[in-house]
Amino acid sequence: MTMYELIRSLGLVAYLAFSVSLGLGIASLSGGLSPRSLDRRVVRQLLHRSAAVVGLLALAAHLGLTVIDTYVSTSVGAVLVPFTAGYKTLALGLGSLALYAFVLAALSGWLRLATARLLSERGWRWLHRAAYAGWGLCLLHGVLAGPDLGQPWALAVYAVGIAAVVAGYVVHQVGLRHVLRRDLDGAFHLRGAR
């Protein structure tokens, strides 16, 4: 496996992990108060967080190898400052923005209680929604940066990621009759459907 293939593979793993995380996060927004419903929600949340960690680790490896790759010279500055790379400027710039969106979503998730107290639960939710932007930017980055978009396997990878997010949305819509929210005290409360 060449360095490029390894970098590309790690990017696709990160995309798929973030897709699963986003889909599970969306699906976790609704549900009932029965013990079984709460159990399903807790499992979805654990998987949501685990997939996000896998995505962040794959992203870190993707970025690290991109910087040390000698075939295409990409500096740390080109990775961290959007739209400054000399190679595929738009694609790498979108990737840089996706990085910041995912880091913001991860930090807000990790510091949920402190963030919700500072901004309110509603403010925390808006901050954590940076993951939506990150996922879309990540998808665009992969499509624009990868020369293999015409390959059936690449189309399948992107389709699986999109399907994971759509599936989460469908589960959320089906469960909207029971919108469940967690307050700062950690207690779940049923609120009327939107």
Is pLDDT larger for residue 127 or for residue 17? 17
Q: For residue 104, which amino acid is it?
A: L
Q: Does 194 have pLDDT greater than 50?
A: no
- What CATH number is given to the structural domain containing 147? 1.20.120
- The rounded mean pLDDT for the chain is 88
Q: Which residues contact 8 (CB under 8 A, 6 or more apart)?
A: 146, 148
Sign of the Cα torsion 2, 97, 121, 27 reads negative
d(CA 103, CA 88): 23
Residue owning tokens 């990150």: 134
Is pLDDT larger for residue 143 or for residue 194? 143
Beta bridge partners of 97: none
Tens of pLDDT, residues 13-66? 999 999 999 999 998 887 766 777 778 888 898 999 999 999 999 999 999 999
Report the pLDDT averaged over residues 4-13: 95
Q: How many domains does the chain have?
A: 1
Q: Does 123 have pLDDT greater than 60?
A: yes
**C-alpha distance from residue 37 to each of 29, 51, 179 (Å):** 12, 21, 12
Instruction: Give the containing element (helix H, strand E) for 43.
Output: helix 35-68
Residue 167 structural domain: 3-191
Q: What is the reported pLDDT for 183? A: 67
Angle between helices 130-145 and 121-128 (to 10 degrees): 0
